[in-house]
Structure 1
Amino acid sequence: MGDAPPSSDMRSICIIGAGPAGLVAAKTFLQTGQCRVTVYEKSHRLGGIWALDEDATGGFLHPRTPTNLSRFSVGFSDLAWSSVDIDSHAKGKLPMFPKAWQVGKYLEEYRRRYLPEEVIKYGMRVSKAEKCKQLAIGSKEFWRVTAIDVDGREERADFDLLVVATGFFAKPRPLQHSVDVQGQIDSLSMLHSSQYRSLQDLLPPSSQSLAGKKILLVGGGNSAGEAAATIASHLSNAQWSNDTTQQKAFEGCRIIHITPRPIYALPPFTPANENSTVFMPLDFNFYDLSRRLPGPITGNAGRVPETVKEMLHGVLRKTVGGDQSDLGSDALVASEGAERGTVQVALAETYAEFVRSGLTEVRAGRVASISERDGRVVATMSHGGTSNEIEGIGAVVYATGYSPSPALDMLHPQVKDALHFDESSMRLPLILEQWQTMSKAEPNLAFIGFYEGPYWGVMEMQARLVAQHWLNDQEVLTKPYEEAVAMLDLRKAMQDRALDVPQCWFGDYAGYMEEIASVLELQRNDGNFQERSGAVSAARYLADSDDRKEADATMHDLYDTWQSCTETGKYTARAAFRALQGNWNVHRRITSHNTTYPSGVLTGTASFQFRSPTDAAYDLEYLYIESGTFTLANGATMNASRRYVYRYSEPQDQLSVWFVKPASDLEVDYLFHDLAFASPADAEEAGRHIAKADHLCVKDMYWTEYRLPIQGIALRSFQVEHKVKGPDKDYVSFTGYRRPEKSSG
């Protein structure tokens, strides 16, 4: 475009960043027919943090990391996931929580459909965006943007309007910002949670073993819970796989998680009704429009009133099945009364049971310092005015969040000053309004997705709002929670660690979607849902230029999934599988009606040990290990043990049980049975979930029934009954499982 100011017939838009925010902004402006759009992307490909291949090793995310929310929240209004070719690895069906590399595929298809290739300039890092005026055209302002390619060559161009879509999580926050790391510690690995991929990343430079060592995990947010669960799952897999090298290298290794606040650990599927007979993707429950108060749905943000705080703690406790004291860690039990903070959540499916098992130990407090003494690494932590030392540390993983400030380096200090920029504020570096898009102080500058945890649907709404404002001069009143006074007060409360600051201060997804849709007068596309029922999806709110066919496909998929959950119990098997994880006390009574097969009682222990699936056709796997003492009817006793493998397949929504090989009890042999779960209506009537199976084993027929009284997401006891008949067998085996009692500590 050279140095000449843009012409007045078409508005020229510069967008910085080709992640989800930049792509949806570019598509939105192009479809108005009133804009020329240029997107600068510093990487060689689009996608932002999702710019990943299936086997990529760089980036903030492991390519197989699943999204925190379902595909109905991770997507835009007019591209259905069913239209994206994510190849044979999807096993025939779309995952409910796509992997990171699959999200990258989605974004590539979105670009292919809606953005001409020449719109995006790859390998161009914007180093400077200056606000300029030219006297020849009066006082009109424009932006002069300088971008640098990989060879250091500069390119300058002028634009009417500037959109920053660089993403909020610009750079991992160094551990040294919050912890006094004394000197250079070369004897162990210290890495940000975004850098962790496998246990090999934790090995010290001079050794190939962490046996008997502690992995110190620092942080109290969602990423800390995710990292703790991921590392624990890798440790569990190392212990229960056939890789003896891994077993020895990490034998006796465990995690010490230091968190300044209790966190509730939630799995991807949570109960949708009072008696936990229906399970749905957690965002279906979080953003169910029928749960909003009567009247127009409006958004909320900022500090949390005491009544709301208490209500949210109550909801979370009901969801997880209690106050978490049964996990055996005081650090996970929220205090009562005035000292209780806001709800903090980790979307980490396996976290809680790894805590209960002891593989992860949670301690309340903050790490003050890490130092090396006589070849030993020691961490000092503080809590409640006291200090304690942690020794035997073999690796440090810090989930200390990200600094957004580097994403703003291209802006002139005067521009940032006008936006109340505060580099020390990691959570609220700018003071914006209009649903966190703009400021009256800089009317030709907008931000898309520049806040903690941006929702894809909200990013699309933000882009529409900015386009409407710039192209149609539509003014919108500032919401009270975005007034500068309120925002500056919130920033100070964050810095003071006030107890009423929420985990996600701008997190009312349903409220913002409904609010902005009303302002923009978008078309509703509720599909088969009533207007005030079902989950929020970007496909429910359409502009005239959106592809209605794609939106309808998404809404059809959403409604079918919703109905399958409520009517046939879809994902109950997944919820049950998750609830089985960990350790159990076992009591089994065998009543035989045939003298050739003994009656008796077994007492002992059992565990469902998490490990990576040993068959790619399955998504999750446990090794079941049982041992105990079997007492015959005549009083004689003997040691008894058995092993099975439990598997879950998402495409089939199937929980199955498999025999292990007699000569190699870590390896799967053949199928024992597939479990068929009763419908939610039958579970409601029975007061528990029921799963049945039958199986012919050589000449013996097994009829099996599992009785699973799940409360919230928790399972504290369950029963399994086998009825067996054959030429030499005629008995009933009834086994009761109960969680070992643990006291907080």
Structure 2
Amino acid sequence: MLEVAVIGAGASGLVASRQLLRHGVRPCIFEAGQHVGGCWNPSNTATNKGGSYKMWDSLSPNLSKYTCVFSDSPWPDHTPTFPSRTDLQDYLQDYYHDTTTLLEQGEQQEFKFGCTVTQVKRTTTDASSSVASSSSGFTQPFQVEWNDSQGMTQSQSFDGVIVATGFFAVPFLPDCFDELLGNDNNLLMHSSQYRSPSQFANQTVAVVGASFSALEIAADVRKHAANVISILPNIPYVLPRYVGPAFSPLDTVLYRRHDAAPKLLSAESKTPQQKHAFLKGLAGRKQAQQSSLGLPTDTSQPPFVAISDDYLDLVVDGSIHAVKGRVTQSSVDSSNNKIELQVVADEQTTTLSDIDRVIACTGYQSNLDFLEPSILETLEYDVNDMYAPLTLCHDAFHPQIPGLGFVGMYRGPYFGIMELQAKTLAGMMSGDYVPTPEHVAAALEESKSIRQSTPRAQFPRHDYVAFMDTLAQPLGLLPQGTAGAKGAMVTPLVYQSAPNEISERALKNIDQECRHGGSSSVNMAKVALSALIGKWEFDRTITQFNNPSMAPQKVTGVIDFSHIAPSVSSSSDSSNNKWNSVLYNENGIFHVAGKELEVFRQYEYEYKDNGILEIYFVEQGARAHLFLSLKFTTTSTEAENDAGQRRWIATSDHLCIKDLYKGEFQIQFDGISATQVSMTYRVKGPNKDYESVTHLKPHF
């Protein structure tokens, strides 16, 4: 039996191991940590470069369970649409154990935990060897050296090597932060070190970066920090996890087929302007109206996207201060240990002072220094290229180095891509699959083109659908029937040799998830509360039914919805540490009898995990008793749905002592933004019979 070394036991290494076993190849898996799961397992605190745990406590993946999944291991039915960090850790742990059960080949794979690979070298360098020169398998002898858990150096020969150490290996810090390095007060932290907001209580924190992690960490740290400054070198479209008229999971919207399968890697089908227009339609007006953030202005450049449920709301209500620009210099005032940052945007320099801590979400470099220099030279490896550091066919192999493969070694490693790369390599190493010379040549040329591209897109493999299909087609794994039809979502679960129970069940679940009346998993109370954040002008009419001769009374003014930090929330669910409570501040003018009287009132809104929006009275600055409890349902017409607009309505009855309150909310959306809101209260009691109707429109 052929034996292949797999370096890394994270998601990439585990799927590589399973596919090698399926093709009759014995894997030996080296893991620097003590557990499988790689960066998803908090027990992995590797002391060497790469492979260590990089997640924070409250992290939630920004892709749903329909994308973060392997084709033969669907999530259990009870799994939330967006699994938690611990859910993903458990998924990979189960995948590891299930490999033995599914294949009954547990004794044919070996795991070496606590072992750090230090060198991989070929024992022969036959220049004539290439992927197209043999049909007996994509292999050659390699010598692998490693330090075991006791610190002893070990060595063994293998027929091949798969590198599954991950693209995000070594935290990168730009030179502009040199003045903060080595400070005894730990003024600078890389995002890989961030765990919890509690260590930043009452501090002013600058979070540098515009990536997913930068925005999510900024929102998370604001739960305890006194001030958060978000410094963005470029402006992304900030999208929540649920978007579109039905508020479906974002990836079920982004990864839909515009045409039937296959869609292969080729010339770009959409212009940057078209991509900007699509993303702007998803975002709606909320981001566009923020002077401190706004939308990208140069639509001739590739767009960038960041996913966060809370970040944009916190910018809107002033909880996070967004600053456009790049940090060019940092310094520390020795008298008070405060940080000063120089930020440049459009050739204008801004100085940010009185900062206590900096969290640098500045990305990672790869780490392949264990590969011998001649291999790195062939791969044209550039450690300083954080976009595409290698020249590889489909980011998986090089024709001039048989037996060496890569899984998940690219910027943006999704589960489906990792699995198809693993299937490609396992087939090649076993001799079950031999790509044609034409296919190899085209793939290598494409890799070179990506590395030379200008301007660079957010991700080298930005066409996820095309990358999936291009890898799947030669393996005979293209989605078939409904799964490959126009409009279908691209999920690894449908990349099967033939339709089966897994693929059919996946299609059914996704259809239910994105059904016409609204996603089955979205919490509309949370969506509604997010849409309300910010300032609104209001016009209220109060009609007294028990006094028909009285003219309707008018109240006008401004309503401000702003988040209440979880640490100070009076919610009984504050232990959940979510941004789930909002303070309603109303400043108005009561027009009565020719006079204008100032009025002020407050409520506290809170969404529950069951989709209920609760409204509480606020008395003397503190939450008092419950006013209304609302559950939203859609009332949109077909025309509104087709136009991307959707109206939602919620009703509630509440008995307050002897008075019966009937409440009705209506919210109309454009993208993720609310465009119209109305609140109607009908109050009946022994001495009351009136109706209050309030219309809200965005305050500019």
Normalising by the smaller structure, the TM-score range is 0.7 to 0.9
- 1:399 equivalent to 2:399? Answer no
C-alpha distance 365-189 of structure 1, shift in aligned 2 (>3 A): same
What is the distance in 2 between the residues matched to 1:377 and 1:604? 37
TM-superposed deviation, 1:595? 5.5
Q: After the TM superposition, which of the residue ranges 632-641 and 440-449 deviates more from structure 2?
A: 632-641
- For residues 8-407 of structure 1, the aligned pairs below 5 Å read 10-32=1-23, 34-52=24-42, 59-82=53-76, 93-115=78-100, 116=106, 119-133=110-124, 141-176=140-175, 179-181=177-179, 185-186=183-184, 189-202=187-200, 209-210=202-203, 213=204, 215-232=205-222, 234=223, 238=224, 250=225, 253-271=226-244, 276=245, 278-289=246-257, 291-292=258-259, 296-299=262-265, 308-322=271-285, 324-329=287-292, 332-336=294-298, 340-373=300-333, 375=335, 376-404=338-366, 406=367
1:291-327 Cα shifts (integer Å, max 9, x gaps):
23x67411358xx79x611111111111111494411
Tell whether 2:372 aligns with 1:416.
Answer: no
Q: Distance in 1 between matches of 2:520 and 2:159?
A: 54
Residues 69, 282 of structure 1: 8 Å contact kept: yes
In the TM superposition, 1:628-643 aligns within 5 A as 628-629=587-588, 631=590, 633-634=592-593, 635=595, 637=597, 639-643=599-603
Map Cα deviations across residues 84-120 of structure 1 (whole Å, 9 max, x no partner).
xxxxxxxxx4211111111000111111111338632
Letter in 2 for 1:692: A
Displacement of 1:715 after TM fit? 1.8
- 2:434 pairs with 1:474: yes
Contact 1:618 1:648 in 2 (8 A): no
Matched with 1:491 is: 451
Which residue number corresponds to residue 103 of structure 2?
Answer: none
Task: State yes or no: 1:522 paired with 2:477.
Answer: yes
Distance 1:222 1:130, change over 3 A: same
Separation of aligned partners in 1, 2:189 and 2:528:
34
Identify the match of residue 656 of structure 1 among 595, 613, 618: 613
Kept in 2, the 8 Å contact 1:169–1:402? The answer is yes
User: Which residue does the alignment assign to 1:594?
Assistant: 546
1:221 Cα deviation from its structure 2 partner:
2.8
- 8 Å contact from structure 1 (residues 688, 707) kept in 2: no
**d(CA) in 1 for partners of 2:6, 2:365:** 21
d(CA) in 1 for partners of 2:646, 2:3: 61
1:508 is displaced (CA, Å) by 1.8
TM-score (ref. length: structure 2): 0.86
Q: Which runs of 5 or more residues in structure 2 are unaligned?
A: 45-51, 101-105
Of 622-631 and 534-543, more deviation after overlay is shown by 622-631
Maintained 8 Å contact 2:478/2:484:
no
SS at match of 2:165: coil
Distance 1:625 1:708 in 2: 16
- Which position in structure 2 is the counterpart of 1:735? 694
Q: Are 1:541 and 2:495 an aligned pair?
A: yes
Percent of pairs with identical residues: 24
Contact 2:4 2:158 in 1 (8 A): yes
Aligned partner letter, 2:390? L
Distance 1:569 1:469, change over 3 A: closer
Tell me the amino acid that sits aligned with residue 195 of structure 2.
R
Q: Which runs of 4+ in 1 moved over 6 A?
A: 616-619
| Partner-residue secondary structure (3-state), 1:715 | strand
**What is the CA-CA distance between 1:680 and the residue it aligns to?**
4.5
Indicate yes or no: 2:396 matched with 1:428: no
Change (3 A) 1:567 1:255: closer
Q: Aligned to 1:227, what secondary structure does the other structure show?
A: helix
Contact kept, 8 Å, 1:270 with 1:280, in 2: the verdict is yes
Aligned partner of 1:655: which letter? I
Q: Supply the AA of the counterpart residue of 2:314.
A: F
User: Aligned partners of 2:334, 2:26: CA distance in 1, in Å?
Assistant: 63
SS at match of 1:428: coil
Contact 2:210–2:236 (CA under 8 A) maintained in structure 1: yes
Q: 1:617 to 1:733 in 2, by over 3 A?
A: farther
Q: CA deviation at 1:395?
A: 1.5
Residue 665 of structure 1 corresponds to which residue in structure 2? 622
| From 611, 627, 634, the counterpart of 1:678 | 634
Give the secondary structure class of the aligned counterpart of 2:391. Answer: coil
Decide which moves more: 179-188 or 555-564: 179-188
Q: Does the C-alpha gap of structure 1 residues 566 and 382 become closer, same or farther in structure 2, counting only changes over 3 Å?
A: closer
Q: Aligned with 2:660: secondary structure? A: strand
Amino acid at match of 2:114: G
- What does residue 457 of structure 2 align with? 502
Letter in 2 for 1:436: D
CA gap 1:196/1:614 in 2 versus in 1, 3 angstroms: farther
Give the root-mean-square deviation of aligned CA atoms: 3.3
Give the superposition deviation at 1:465: 1.1
Task: Work out the CA distance in 2 between the residues paired with 1:374 and 1:366.
Answer: 24
CA distance in 1, matches of 2:545, 2:634: 29
> Is residue 563 of structure 1 aligned with residue 515 of structure 2?
yes
Report if the CA contact (8 A) 1:267-1:347 is conserved: yes
Q: CA deviation at 1:122?
A: 1.5
Structure 1 residue 578: Cα displacement = 2.4
Q: 2:325 and 2:529 mapped to 1: Cα distance?
A: 32
Residue 403 of structure 1 and its aligned partner are, at CA, apart by: 1.0
